[in-house]
Amino acid sequence: MIFKKSPKSRLAEGVAELERGIARRDIARIKQACSALLETVPQASAAECTPVGPRAAGLIPVISPTGPRALLAFVAGVCVTRGSDPAACAEPVLNGTLQALTDALEFARRWQAAGPEDLPKPKWSAVDDAVLARVDHGNKVEAVRLARAWCEVDLWRRSAATVLSWSAQAREELARSMGLTRSMGLTARLATVVDQVAALGAHDLKRLAYVLQILDDEPLVVLHRPSGAGFQVRMSGIGDNFQLHTLLGHLLIGGGHLPGEAPSAEAVRMSLDAEFDADRQVETVGAFNLVAPDGEWIRNEDRPSDIPVVDGVRLLVLDLPPYRSSWNAGRLFWHMPTSITLERVLPADEAAARFLQVSPARPASS
């Protein structure tokens, strides 16, 4: 009797076959093994995927830059969503992403230097001899590497955003493993190149750009201008200021510290810990106008990391909303643990001293 192999054995054998192909430098075998993995992983269970993610990620630096590195990163990312340890996958995935985006930038630089033709669509099917010739500076292998990087940005950004958004531990362990502070390390360098590639307009890198700026265990001083009250808050895992705005309304109005209409319990749940549901929409109304210490408005579309630091802590001013604004409550990163706590209400003298650091509110920038 012939027994059909289980998904678990197929997945394990697929990784082993890939490792054998790499050891023997068999390009055809590597490509075939990667294709098999891509077919197997989507149907695999969490228990089956758990050991595969770190193994796939660990193979990224071993394969040639002209090989299927991005596919391995994608496999690792899928496995993270099924139970693999994101911290164990983060460093090779993020190093690979940094290299790929750097190569994509170089591809664009060479393309634009060759003449005023629009950048090609980032699809490998669009890469032909004419495309390679335009970026070839006497090294065909290098031209292929750059073109491949340009076409595979989407795979890399998905994988990088996944490992970073799945746990704070992945973000913090990455910084420690690099032996650098967050401002100097891989995360900061990757954020810079993400912004540069995004500016070219050919790739959607918003989610990766935002997750690279996520704040974990971050203190925030909040000043409510109408009442003169001040609060010290601590936040983690908040993706954008829509989410922060909703949670501040819950914390300060819902907590009885400020007047106004608090967000509904369902809006708060959607902003904190609800499971993702594409069909579930809960409208919430803005209770404040978010303002920087210099008086400039802070958009709900921006990030908590855009709130300026004053005397070592981020400082946010809440004004009355100049008009009604509403949005669907939720989270940019549905699987990212989120928390926000009120640590203390500032004494009146401390709040008054903080208000001396704040300029008058300004009209919205045109």
Instruction: Give the DSSP letter string of 81-141.
Output: HTT--HHHHHHHHHHHHHHHHHHHHHHHHHHHHT-SPPPPPS-GGG--HHHHHHH-SS-HH
In angstroms, the Cα distances linking 202 to 103, 108, 146, 154, 205 are 15, 10, 15, 10, 9
Residue 254 is classified by DSSP as T
Crossing angle of helices 27-40 and 7-23, in 10° steps, is: 160
Q: pLDDT in tens for each of the 366 residues of the chain?
A: 343 444 445 787 888 888 898 888 888 888 888 888 888 888 888 888 899 899 999 999 998 888 889 999 999 999 999 889 998 998 899 999 999 999 999 999 999 999 999 999 999 888 899 999 999 999 999 999 999 999 999 999 999 999 999 877 777 766 565 444 444 467 778 889 999 999 999 999 999 999 999 999 999 999 999 999 999 999 999 999 999 999 999 999 999 999 999 999 999 999 999 888 888 999 999 999 999 999 999 999 999 999 999 999 999 999 999 999 999 999 999 989 899 999 999 999 999 999 999 998 777 654
Report the C-alpha gap between 51 and 356 in whole angstroms: 55
Q: Cβ atoms within 10 A of the Cβ of 130, count?
A: 8
**Gap between the Cα atoms of 224 and 352, Å rounded:** 11
CA–CA separation, 51 vs 37, rounded Å? 14
SS3 content of the chain, % helix, strand, coil (to 5): 50, 10, 40
What is the C-alpha separation between 217 and 47, in angstroms, rounded? 31
DSSP classification of residue 43 = G
pTM: 0.88
